[in-house]
């Protein structure tokens, strides 16, 4: 199992990614220490108070830049494994005939499927831990302003955000592993195309007035007003994602029952 996990690690250039993320973390930490945040004083209705100093405004701008960096990297880390790694990993295995090779090696049955699911599970656990660490770094030297509130809420909902790609993987992996990368990716692209067309149709014919006045203040106020719902989603979505991920693994094993052998039988 360790060998199969290491194989996946090599395919996605794991060593380069680890050193890159370590370098980004150190850079983010240094920027946070060198660029302290500033308190944003409001006079009401979103206007800045006259008593706000230039240093406070500069600190708020620093908070804005670091918050954008944090959210941008978070989106990349959540999307890239889902969008790029699923195809590249399994395509490399098909090219190298990994599953055929496993049949003559001392592996338990379904070791290959287990390694794929375990690799993505470990990946998103590491992403969740890393983004929580970045949130702590940001808040350690941030000013008392709306960006600190937004990043704190983002940190509280990271489990919810990470649950979404895990649920998508639970649907995607059985298709790609069973049907192959060509058919699996084609089905995935057709589904994404349907989503894009649906979003485009909504922009043309939907009621966009519901989004009038929506901004960061509205989102923060909504989360504070509906704390019980937010907490329920934070707890329920990860549990649902883990259950679906486990059921997806069992389904994939059942669909590929005759494609692997147990060396120890």
DSSP result, 40-56: --EEETTEEPTT--HHH
Q: What is the pLDDT of residues 201-258, one digit of tens each?
A: 877 877 777 667 666 677 777 777 877 887 888 888 889 999 999 999 999 888 877 7
Question: Does residue 191 carry a pLDDT above 70?
Answer: yes
CA–CA distance, 45 with 250 (Å, rounded to integer)? 54
| Helix residue ranges per DSSP H, 107-226 | 111-140, 146-156, 158-179, 181-205, 216-225
Percent of the chain exceeding pLDDT 70 equals 82
Angstrom CA distances, 194 to 200, 201, 202, stand at 10, 10, 12
State the helix-helix crossing angle for 14-34 and 111-140, rounded to 10 degrees: 10
Phi, then psi, of 183 in degrees rounded to 5: -70, -40
| Confidence (pLDDT) at 237 | 87
CA–CA distance, 130 with 94 (Å, rounded to integer)? 31
Which residue did the predictor score with more confidence, 1 or 136?
Answer: 136
User: Mean pLDDT over all residues of the chain?
Assistant: 80
| Confidence (pLDDT) at 140 | 87
Q: What is the pLDDT of residues 96-122, one digit of tens each?
A: 666 666 665 556 667 788 888 999 999
Q: What is the pLDDT of residues 76-97, one digit of tens each?
A: 888 887 777 777 777 776 776 6
CA–CA distance, 246 with 224 (Å, rounded to integer)? 33
Angstrom CA distances, 28 to 61, 128, 135, 155, stand at 15, 17, 11, 16
First to last CA, the chain: 17
Q: Which of 11-15, 248-252, 257-261: highest mean pLDDT?
A: 248-252
| Confidence (pLDDT) at 131 | 92
Angstrom CA distances, 85 to 14, 62, 121, 189, 226, stand at 11, 33, 13, 15, 36
| Confidence (pLDDT) at 246 | 94
| Confidence (pLDDT) at 219 | 73
Least confident of 52-61, 91-100, 163-172: 91-100
| Confidence (pLDDT) at 257 | 76
Angstrom CA distances, 173 to 86, 108, 159, 229, 247, stand at 8, 20, 21, 30, 12
């Amino acid at each position: 199992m360790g060998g199969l996990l290491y194989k996946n690690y090599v395919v996605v250039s794991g060593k380069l990614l680890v050193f890159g993320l370590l370098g980004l973390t150190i850079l983010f930490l240094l920027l946070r220490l060198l660029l302290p945040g500033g308190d944003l004083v409001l006079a009401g209705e979103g206007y800045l108070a006259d008593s706000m100093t230039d240093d406070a405004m500069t600190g708020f701008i620093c908070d804005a830049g670091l918050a954008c960096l944090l959210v941008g990297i978070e989106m990349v880390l959540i999307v890239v494994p889902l969008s790029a790694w699923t195809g590249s990993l399994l395509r490399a295995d098909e090219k190298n005939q990994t599953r055929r090779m496993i049949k003559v090696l001392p592996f338990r049955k379904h070791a290959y499927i287990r390694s794929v699911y375990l690799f993505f599970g470990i990946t998103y656990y590491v992403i969740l831990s890393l983004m929580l660490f970045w949130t702590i770094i940001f808040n350690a030297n941030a000013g008392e302003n709306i960006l600190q509130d937004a990043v704190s809420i983002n940190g509280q909902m990271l489990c919810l955000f990470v649950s979404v790609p895990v649920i998508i993987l639970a649907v995607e992996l059985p298709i790609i592993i069973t049907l192959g990368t060509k058919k699996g990716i084609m089905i995935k692209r057709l589904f994404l195309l349907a989503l894009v067309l649906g979003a485009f149709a909504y922009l043309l014919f939907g009621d966009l007035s519901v989004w009038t006045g929506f901004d960061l203040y509205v989102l923060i106020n909504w989360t504070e007003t509906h704390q019980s719902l937010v907490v329920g989603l934070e707890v329920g979505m990860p549990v649902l994602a883990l259950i679906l991920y486990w059921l997806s693994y069992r389904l994939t094993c059942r669909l590929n029952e005759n494609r692997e052998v147990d060396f120890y039988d």
